[in-house]
Amino acid sequence: QVGFQAGNGGEQALAAIPRLKPDLVVLDVMMPGMDGPTTMGKMRADPALADIPVIFMTAKAMPQEITRFTELGALGVIPKPFDPMRLTHQVFALWEG
Please tell me the predicted confidence (pLDDT) of residue 9. 84
SS3 26: strand
Kindly tell me the burial class for residue 26, based on how many C-beta atoms sit within 10 Å of its own C-beta (0-12, 13-18, 19 or more): buried
Q: How far apart, in whole angstroms, are the C-alpha atoms of residue 67 and residue 37?
A: 13
Going by pLDDT thresholds of 50, 70 and 90, the confidence category of residue 5 is low
Going by pLDDT thresholds of 50, 70 and 90, the confidence category of residue 7 is low
Q: How far apart, in whole angstroms, are the C-alpha atoms of residue 44 and residue 25?
A: 12
Please tell me the predicted confidence (pLDDT) of residue 33. 87
